[in-house]
Structure 1
Amino acid sequence: MVQSPGPAIELRRVSKWFGTVQVCHDVELGIGQGEFVTLLGSSGCGKTTTLNMIAGLEDSTSGDILMSGRRVNDLSPVERDVAMVFQNYALYPHMTVAQNIGFTLRMRGMPREEIRRRVEGAAASLELTHVLQRLPSQLSGGQQQRVAIGRALVREPRIFLFDEPFSNLDAALRLKMRAEVKQLHEKLGVTSVFVTHDQEEAMSISDRIAVMYRGRVEQFGTPEEIYARPASRYVATFIGSPQIDLMPGVVALGEGRAAVRLGTVRIDLPPDAERFRDGQKVEVGIRPEHVQLGSEGIAATVRLAQPVGPATHVVMDWDGGTLTATIPGFARLQPGSSVHARISPGDLLVFDQESGLRL
């Protein structure tokens, strides 16, 4: 990731209203030069509206948008020097791949030789050289999406914006396109903002992720930070597959060591438990990969075993609720069988029951 003084894109308390409905609430982001940042969240969280405000396709109701320190609220998308790739490829069916990629350059009156150079360069980067004379109807879905990216690439913008560009692709093509976009970004180093609702997609391609919820940025950090140290219950449940298990509990200080009571079971808390209060109502989160099955630990009953190739997800019922374990290989566990689960205190995530914030 390329670093430079000051952010390439900065949003300062940016809000957006559509009539009486507020869809973005005081959004604050600082995106560094050359960073690949993803706006992640469920449908209706405000991520696409935020992207459109960065692009200049939507005006912000309040707040400032800066690019390289310059306020751009009143500038058009062309003046902001951004290129956008949409979910819909929007290719001209009667034009060849080369003509589609070079269309915006022709509209700007760029010399023919410069257009040819840029189109051939973009095609080479995207492995489209061999299809430059084909029509869009003769291409696969992945090739069509690469043409759409190439059309943005030839403009040589300072910022790339992607609005769920892979949503129309099948699962295998999505994986391939993720890798290609990540490799392209590493090669070009252009500041990029990517919108998706797919947490796995966001985790795999981003330098940092802004998790959005109800029009607000719930957490902004690296994929590792978002996953291992979620700021809230929402972030913890949105990130991770299978989903994190959350269980209501009560903090119990004393008896030699701080612990949390989950049903009739007492589980030790991490060593820095002085931040908890005795009797505090919490929710305890544990990710499936942090649950080990063995001969000792919490007594549980298998509800379901789901082999997924290299691992098996085992869903268990116990006195504190439901617990999921991800164990290597194919586990031959039958529903109703008895097992024991062990949880390391250091792997617990503890959230305040009322606010939902991680403690």
Structure 2
Amino acid sequence: MTDVTLKEVSKKFGSFQVCHNIDLDIKAGEFITLLGSSGCGKTTTLNMVAGLEDSTSGDILIGGRRVNDLSPVERDVAMVFQNYALYPHMTVAQNIGFTLKMRGVASAIVREKVQKLAASLELGHVLERFPAQLSGGQQQRVAIGRALVREPRIFLFDEPFSNLDASLRVKMRTEVKELHVQQSVTSIFVTHDQEEAMSISDRIAVMYRGGVEQFGSPEEIYAHPASRYVASFIGSPQIELLDGILEMSNGATFLRAGQRALPLHIDQGNFKSGRAVEFGVRPEHVRMGDTGIEGRVQMLQPIGPATHVTIDTAAGTFIASVPGFLRVKPGDNVKVEIQASDLHVFDKETGLRL
């Protein structure tokens, strides 16, 4: 198993800064995801690790060795692309075994490795078919198999499931996670799908405007987002961020939201009373009951196991995720209770967590 380290890695195309000062310390055998919206620099970062793009500055280390000047082959990485990149004139068996054949591995050994890997990927019955005769999921498995058969030090995945339908995406990410557990090879996965990232990653690097906004476990990123962007990007339905004011009284800190003052357990530091902030609460922590902030139901979104209820209050609009189906309807008056311990509070100017 091999570790990967990025030290202040930046990338420019002419005068345009794509990535800046990226620091990542990926442990051997870890599965990490680069997560972010289009244009945030995640694929460029992956390409720099692979050696497909040169970094403008900074160092990339694989297994403790600086690899900035090494080719992709010398780095011993395997990459799975979004568009599969299969050879259409080759059978499944030939596609999977191609890199071994190019390395001069004996035909008998290639055949043995291909058959063993195909069995684990449930491709044994299609080895003699061509890519055009396969489903999207089967084609993606072939692409993964071609990467796995090389037994590289690092696996790189560039949005490999983007062309698959929703149900197949879920199945494929489960299979990739199982393969990672079996192989224990350091893996870097790129996606814009936060649910996908949360479900398969040991740690997630949330990227924003070419930098890493937060790097931590799925639990850390969800429960303690480091910034306004991370809080709003992670979670479904999306957290609602509202305006508030910090107030200080007798050594205690309160969040003023409309006519409501909620006590906060945060270090006052150099805060001054009247400081503008943004705050939010995850939908599952917005509780509907007989007490709390008065509001009116705007919209209901039943999704089976839960119903997402949009509620307009004097403090702002909240979304409550309530188990099961509800009998309330748009226009009904309700009350919501919010615990101060469930609040996420961010500086209005910097967007950083307080």
TM-score class, shorter: over 0.9
Within 5 Å, give how 1:57-206 maps onto structure 2. 57-206=52-201
**Which residue of 2 is the match for residue 49 of structure 1?**
44
State the AA in 2 paired with 1:42.
S
Q: Which amino acid aligns with 2:32?
A: V
| SS, match of residue 258 in structure 1 | strand
In structure 1, stretches of 5+ residues that fail to align are: none
Q: CA deviation at 1:299?
A: 0.2
Q: How much does 1:102 deviate?
A: 0.6
Moved more, 326-335 or 131-140: 131-140
1:357 is aligned to 2:349: no
1:266/1:47 CA distance change after superposition, 3 Å: same
1:239 pairs with one of 210, 234, 239 = 234
Give the equivalent residue in structure 1 for 2:225. Answer: 230
Deviations 1:222-271 (A, max 9, x none): 0000100110000000000001111111112227953211122222223x
Q: Could you tell me which residue of structure 1 aligns to residue 21 of structure 2? A: 26
Structure 2 residue identity aligned to 1:135: F
CA distance in 1, matches of 2:221, 2:80: 26
**C-alpha separation in 2, matches of 1:14 and 1:352:** 28
Structure 1 stretch 331-340 or stretch 303-312: which is displaced more? 331-340
Distance 1:245 1:33 in 2: 37
Match of 1:299 in 2: 294
1:12 aligned partner: 7
Which amino acid counterpart does residue 348 of structure 1 have in structure 2? L
Name which of structure 1's ranges 34-43 and 253-262 shifts more when overlaid on structure 2: 253-262
Query: Identity over the aligned pairs, expressed in percent?
Result: 68
The answer on 1:343 being equivalent to 2:338 is yes
Aligned length in residues: 353
Code of the residue aligned with 2:91 in structure 1: it is T
Partner SS state of residue 326, structure 2: coil
Worse overlay, 162-171 or 131-140: 131-140
3-state SS in 2 of match to 1:253: strand
Give the Cα–Cα distance (whole angstroms) in 2 for the partners of residues 273 and 191 of structure 1. Answer: 38
Provide the C-alpha distance between the structure 2 equivalents of 1:300 and 1:256, rounded to a whole number of angstroms: 31
Query: Which SS does the other structure have where 2:329 is aligned?
Result: coil
Counterpart-to-counterpart distance in 2, 1:121 and 1:333: 56
> Which aligned pairs between 1:202-351 and structure 2 lie closer than 5 A?
202-254=197-249, 257-270=252-265, 272-275=266-269, 276-351=271-346
What do the CA deviations read for 1:291-333 (whole angstroms, capped 9, x no partner)?
0000000000000011000000000111122110000001122
Where does structure 2 lack aligned partners over 5 or more consecutive residues?
A: none
- Give the stretch that moved more between structures: 276-285 or 244-253: 276-285
* TM-score normalized with structure 2 length: 0.97
TM-score, normalising length: structure 1: 0.96
Structure 2: which amino acid aligns with 1:156? E
Q: For residue 273 of structure 1, report the CA deviation from its aligned partner.
A: 5.0
Q: Which amino acid aligns with 2:181?
A: E
Distance of 1:277 and 1:8 partners within structure 2:
44
Q: Offset at 1:128?
A: 1.0
Q: Aligned partners of 1:255, 1:312: CA distance in 2, in Å?
A: 41
Is the partner of 2:205 in helix, strand or coil? strand
3-state SS in 2 of match to 1:299: strand
